[in-house]
Structure 1
Amino acid sequence: MTESKWPYTERIAEYSATFRFEDLPPKAVSMAKWIVLDTLGALFAAWPDRHPASRLIGDFVAQMGGKPECTVLGRNFKAPAANAALVNGTMGYAADIEGAGIARMHAAAVFVPTALVMGERQRVDGKTFIASLALAYDVAGRVSEANRAGCPYPHSFHPSAVFGTIGATAIAGYDLKLDPSRFINAYGLAGNVASGLMAWVEDPTEHSRSYGIGVAARNGVTAGLLAEMGFGGPRGIFDPMKYNIYDAFSGAMHLEELTRDLGVEFYIERADGFKQYPCCGDIHSGIDALLMIINEHDLQPDEIAEITHMVKETRRPVIDNNPLRSHCSQYIMAVAAVERQIRWDDFLRDRRKEPAIGAMARKIRLMGTSELADSPAAAPAIVEVKTTDGRVFRKRVDFAKGRSENPLSRSELEAKFVRLAAPVVGEAQAQEILSMVERLDELPDIRQLIELMRR
């Protein structure tokens, strides 16, 4: 028997084409429902009348026109599937409040909007919707782990955009019922155009941050649709072919991660918790520690002389004094210190123009420390607060509230969803959506859920 030239790609394609809802354990199905609910809340937080990026990308797609196939969220029109995915995917990450990341990716921000678009186009039922989402986590998560290097963003690429494209392709291909050969083409096309730099940390508008996620969703849908038509692609995209994804995106290659426990361990079960705050997850442990200190000692803003936010050195650059407010420790921690909370729209405007926030921001210092190097957490923090009368308070948080090691309760997750959705659709409709997601695996047509998201 001739040995395959591209064994890893062929194995992933075969797995994708034969994946079944019935093979998922109850924990995976339950996690999928929580991921969907949480991401729907994030989408409502990014509704076009709330977020400029959502409005602008929707306006762009409206100008393009085309076949009215799939719902553009927050709008009264439909668009071709790929264009709807561009808008809805952009909205998925716009509010920076979605959770359930995996393997360095904002996975849910790409995958749930893609699954909504393709599910509507193909009129899938709830079980197929859940299976497509689980498959996306499995394939994209494994490809990302196979590319894991010694730093968070090798070659300046954003894993959420690069490997999110692969997951979006898994969803499109699954809903289109691609056979293994066409899945190979779809994944090859996706890998061929996968992209997305971390350069958005220098964009104070917050637009390009989420745009990369929308592009990943769009490119995944496009790859699936082209493969269905017979469009060819590189046949060994997950193997060490010439000019391969490993050389391009990380300089590392761990092929064993692609098939380790494939079909036995489901990456969706690894999804790493849900966010409390609308900002970069690397700041969450610092916010938790800061609020513990402030609330425990009832510190008023004018009593604080200095705040030192300590993180792992590898995590410092992505949150250090960036123009991008959602990823700026000095800004987010200042708002938290003054307001004792972070609201969904705090990073949409520069509140440092307010005297109290501006003064507090100047008191905040971010630094990397070796003291956290041995922490099992990806983004632990130590916060030290010095007061004007000489007191010093110090708190360490390894796992922020919401992480899988320190999870939000079911009631907290439901309350978060209602808090984000009710201002858009009203509390009664938000509760109806929540109820429908709870029985998602019984839903005969995913379009019922999409219809409920209209206001």
Structure 2
Amino acid sequence: MGFMDRTTEMLSSYACNLTYEDLPPEVVHQVKRTVADTLGCAIGGYLSEPAKVARKLAGDVTSGTPSRILGTDAYSSLDMAGFANGVMVRYLDCNDSYFSPGGGHPSDMIPAALAVADAVEADGNTVITAIALAYEAFCRIADQVPDNQWDQGIFSVIGAACAAGKVLGLDEEQMGHAISLAAVPNVPLRVTRMGELSMWKGCAAAAATRSGIFAAQLAAEGMTGPFEPFEGRKGLWEQAIGYPVEIEALGGDDAPFRILETIFKFYPSQIHTQAPIDLAIQLHERVKTDEIASINIQSYKSAVSSASTEPEKWDPQTRETADHSIPFLTAVGLRDGAVTPATFAPDRIADDGLRTIINKMRIEENPDFTERYPAEYNCRIEVIKANGQTEVAATSFPKGHGRNPLSDAEVDAKFRRLACPTVTEQQCEQALELIWSLENLPNLRGIFDSLVV
């Protein structure tokens, strides 16, 4: 391994040497919380059109190392099971988030650990360790690399390869090649999240998961990748980032594990919409929509930028655009007093009544809010009524933020809210009982069985 670059050596050595015993109790607990949150999102997305497409393709594949397709009794190859399950996880846009210069949704990688673990009958401790590892790879790279040039799969494909390789038991040399084989062929375009958003918005990270699993499988069979994928000439740092990157110390010893710094969403929509939705729902009780003369929304730059630069966010035509639209979701919160998966039904997205409210809005950056981000997710909404009266709501820490986190009971409630009625309440309880005892499970069969639709 001495001929591989520094970043590859650092990640592969850490991946192979991390053990379950290295994980503090709070990290193990957070992994279980995250698995519960992620699988609730997956079952909530099971009936979506993208999930149906992914399951159809996955179901057409047979493999000598079969892996379970979530929600079914069917099996596919490891990579296609990871893809199909990943599409389900991401569809509702309600899985976790991590913020740094890069960031994204690291739980998109969890299907990589689950797909391989199901195939090889790995135990719960192995799965927990692989997930904590994937988060370290994703988040430590995201800490140094902004995501404004490339899509977030540039991070998650590496974490997925580490997770899959960990469960497969790769040695350091194989793990290094898995990381290289994940990074080099998979530099995704940011156009995925620009303008009117397509189904691919919710599938791009699942494609990265599939590629990460495939990279680990290739390495397990002896395939080698470029030896300097990060720091080498024409490598990732030079070509995709434009400057050298140095990854900080990874979790363990005195360094905290990054999974502890992720947040869970309360609403099924983009992270920057969480605060405006919260405030709009608060104002719902104080404002009748036919009384509204104007609405002024202030937030930080990352939140307001898409609304200010992309006209599609003011008149969304797809579910994927609507769940990224502050104007649309604020209008829904003000009028309906709730935002749920049903908010994104086609007739609701096309509702002219919401356009009437949207047309009264103005969104602007508050420089002080930008300065305080990402420690605070500040938002302020001012509604001016036709009679001149003003109603104001503001927050720095919307529900789900690290300073206002979901409790374990709220994670369970979110699971039930998203998964029912696709599965029964009894199935939800059975699945949650198994997830909360993940470290004691000999394999994942019970979890998959409990969630068959």
- Tell me if TM exceeds 0.5: yes
Deviation per CA, 1:302-325, whole angstroms, max 9, x where unpaired?
Answer: 122222222222432335543411
Matched to 2:93, the amino acid is D
Aligned: 1:389 with 2:383: no
Q: 1:271 to 1:260 in 2, by over 3 A?
A: closer
Residues 299/315 of structure 1: CA separation in 2 closer, same or farther (3 Å cut): closer
Task: Report how far residue 399 of structure 1 moved.
Answer: 2.0
1:248 matched residue in structure 2:
239
SS at match of 1:91: helix
In 1: Cα distance, 2:96 partner to 2:233 partner: 35
Deviation, 1:453, is 1.4
- Asked if structure 2 preserves the Cα contact closer than 8 Å seen for 1:145 and 1:254, the reply is no
Contact 2:280–2:331 at 8 Å: present in 1 too?
no
Deviation of 1:146 (Å): 2.9
Residue 154 (structure 1) aligned to one of 138, 148, 152: 148
Could you tell me how far apart the structure 1 residues matched to 2:357 and 2:193 are? 22
RMSD, aligned α-carbons? 2.3
Match of 1:73 among 70, 75, 79: 70
Deviation at 1:46, TM superposition (A): 0.3
1:438: how far off?
1.1
Instruction: State how 1:267-416 maps to structure 2 within 5 Å.
Output: 267-295=257-285, 298-320=286-308, 321-322=312-313, 323=316, 324-349=321-346, 351-377=348-374, 379-416=377-414
Structure 2 distance, partners of 1:319, 1:262, is 40
Match of 1:423 among 421, 424, 432: 421
Structure 1 position 350, deviation (Å): 5.2
Deviation at 1:261, TM superposition (A): 5.9
| Separation in 2, partners of 1:333, 1:8 | 43
Q: How big is each residue's C-alpha offset from its partner over 1:259-306, in whole Å with a ceiling of 9 and x where there is no partner?
A: 3665542434433221111111101111222223333xx211112222
Aligned partner of 1:439 in structure 2 is 437
Paired position in structure 2 for 1:32: 31
Cα distance in 2 for residues equivalent to 1:267 and 1:3: 27
Asked if 1 retains the 8 angstrom alpha-carbon contact of 2:178 and 2:219, the reply is yes
Whether the aligned pair in 2 keeps the contact of 1:280 and 1:327 (CA below 8 Å) is: yes
C-alpha contact 2:251 2:257 (8 A) present in aligned 1: no
Once the two structures are superposed, residues 149-190 of structure 1 have per-residue CA deviations (whole angstroms, 9 ceiling, x without a partner) of xxxx332x122x110001100111101111101111000011
Unpaired runs of at least 5, structure 2: none
> How many residue pairs get matched?
442
**Alignment-derived partner of residue 182 in structure 1:** 174
Deviation (angstroms), 1:106: 3.7
More deviation, 387-396/104-113? 104-113
Among candidates 163, 187, 201, match of residue 195 of structure 1: 187
Deviation at 1:428, TM superposition (A): 1.1
**3-state SS in 2 of match to 1:154:** coil
CA 1:438–1:63: 2 relative to 1, 3 Å: closer
The equivalent residue for 1:259 is 249
Counterpart of 2:95 (choices 75, 95, 98) is 98
Q: Could you tell me how far apart the structure 2 residues matched to 1:76 and 1:318 are?
A: 41
Indicate how the Cα distance of structure 1 residues 314 and 101 shifts in structure 2: closer, same or farther if over 3 A, else same. Answer: closer
SS in 1 for 2:89: helix
Unaligned residue ranges in structure 1 (runs of 5+): none
Shift of 1:354: 2.8
CA contact (8 A) 2:71 2:448 kept: no
Residues 437 and 192 of structure 1, relative CA distance in 2, 3 Å threshold: same
1:100 Cα deviation from its structure 2 partner: 4.7
User: Could you tell me which amino acid in structure 1 is paired with residue 306 of structure 2?
Assistant: V
SS of corresponding position for 2:203:
helix
1:111 positional shift: 1.8
Deviations 1:387-442 (A, max 9, x none): 11111233332221111111122222211111112212210110111111111101
Instruction: Tell me if the contact between 1:125 and 1:444 (Cα under 8 Å) persists in the aligned partners.
Output: yes
- Corresponding letter in the other structure for 1:291: I
CA distance in 2, matches of 1:191, 1:64: 25
Letter in 2 for 1:251: G
Residues 27 and 260 in structure 2, CA contact (< 8 A), matched pair in contact too: no
- Give the TM-score of the pair, scaled to structure 2: 0.91
Residues 42-83 of structure 1, C-alpha deviation per residue, up to 9 Å, x if partnerless? 001101x2x111112222333455557111223442111111
